[in-house]
Amino acid sequence: MSKRELARVEVLSRVRSEELRVVDAGRLMQVSYRQAKRLWKRYREEGATGLQHRSAGRSSNHGHANKFRQKVLGLVREKYGGAVGERFGPTLAAEHLAAEDGLQVDAETLRRWMLAEGLWSRERRRRRHRRRRDRKEHWGEMVQMDGSFHAWLEDRGPEGCLIDMVDDATNKTWAQLGEQETIWAVADALRAWIERYGVPQMVVSPDGKWLAYTDYPRGYLWRCKVEGGEKLQLTDSLAQMPTWSPDSKWIAYSDWRELHRVSVDGGAPEKLTSEGFTEVLPSWSPDGKSIYFNDYPIQGHLRIRVLDLDTRKVTTMPGSDGYYAPSWSPDGQYLAAIQNPPKSAALYSVNTKQWKQLKVFEHDWGFFVWARDSKSIFYIRGPSEVGVGEQTGIGRLTVPDGKWELYAKFTGMNPDLQGAQDFLSVTPEGDVAAMSDTSVTQIYQMQWKNAE
């Protein structure tokens, strides 16, 4: 019964107990005296149920036939039902019934039918709760940029936009103040970041005659004689992590998407991979028939991949899950890599076909390079790779016993400017080379002549 019908039951029960007259009951029920008499008669003869509307419990004259309802529900079970999160809701199901099956039914009507038949519930599929993502593992993997408008100069100047760039792994920050957050201001900030923290890369060929390097700030690949002559630009696009083939005739590199190779004599670069993953850190095998590299099919998943240069088939090196930055020794007896977790230097022996952990790093690691005699590996330990109180510099790890020593210290370098950049190379004479940042951070005051 409705709320109004229940209220009438209460009023007429008072008429029965002679607390009210029928005329007074009519006023309380807001009906005419004649209607009050009819309701009183029905209440005397049938009780409270007599006051219920005569159409209650009966199908509507405008309702769908039961045969139509069963047909609709049958199609919902067959085509649009399923588990929570997979089944169609009433609104979507009504749209498909009209478009695909030619059955017109209102979404609210269908909702009632589906609820009655257990084909729909108000239960929703729970969404995964958001969580903070993990920081990137290494310096330079991701740099975030944003602009913030504020009265940075307080009342000493106009409001400006501070364009701030932050390295995700190390929190190293660089900012530049401008008038607006325009495309030119952002591009200028990015250029300044690359000029300050970018890493030009230099690799000497195995025969000791050639030098491959990338220029600033474009990252294009060049080659020249070790003495500096016969310079030749090999690419007109980004080329990172160059590595020489054992015969010194080819240079493989990554553009942070795929691997390529280019002849030392020039010509069009040749794309080697097309898997769609981020393919980086190539290293030629000692026989020159394959290239070992890393890719990132899943965030945080490290593995070593092997590209057969004859068939162009790419496979995964057995037992290489969790290993990063593969690099073959010059004599072809060992493959060095970084293991994570734990963050450690690892060595794969061609003879034993086994990995060996050489050293666990308490903090992050830097770039590494093989000595020309294959008896040691040099690691860079910049400000972002050492802990409090540790000495920055170049460390040497002997092979295969894993003895660690500080080979060279970084002195006279500003650690806040990254000191020596995270890139090492070895000269033809076997000396270790590192890039140094020689800029200064002092503020000078200038006195202008004839100033008023």
The pLDDT tens digits for 85-105 are: 678 889 999 999 999 989 999
| Residue 105 placed within a domain | yes
Give the DSSP H or E segment for 17.
Answer: none
DSSP secondary structure letters along 233-245: E--SS--EEEEE-
Q: Which two tokens stand for residue 48?
A: 């409270």
Asked whether the beta carbons of 42 and 80 are under 8 A apart, the reply is: no
Cα separation, 53 vs 154, whole angstroms: 75
In the predicted structure, residue 367 carries a pLDDT above the cut 90: no
pLDDT of 200: 45
* pLDDT class of 313 with cuts at 50, 70, 90: very high
User: Residues 241, 150: one domain?
Assistant: no
Mean pLDDT in residue range 281-310: 84
Domain count within the chain:
4
pLDDT of 201: 61
User: Residues 186, 201: one domain?
Assistant: no
Mean pLDDT in residue range 38-62: 83
| Residue 26 placed within a domain | yes
User: Residues 343, 236: one domain?
Assistant: yes
* pLDDT class of 195 with cuts at 50, 70, 90: low
Which of 39-53, 86-100, 172-186, 339-353 is predicted with the least confidence, judged by mean pLDDT?
172-186
CATH, residue 308: 2.120.10.30
User: Residues 384, 241: one domain?
Assistant: yes
Q: What residue numbers bound the domain in which 7 lies?
A: 3-51
- Please name the residue ranges forming H helices in 136-260: 183-197
Mean pLDDT in residue range 28-38: 92
Which of 230-234, 278-282, 392-396, 424-428 is predicted with the least confidence, judged by mean pLDDT?
424-428
Cα separation, 238 vs 220, whole angstroms: 5
Asked whether the beta carbons of 264 and 248 are under 8 A apart, the reply is: yes
| Residue 126 placed within a domain | no
**pLDDT digit string, tens, across residues 299-311:** 556 789 999 999 9
**pLDDT digit string, tens, across residues 213-230:** 887 657 789 998 887 789
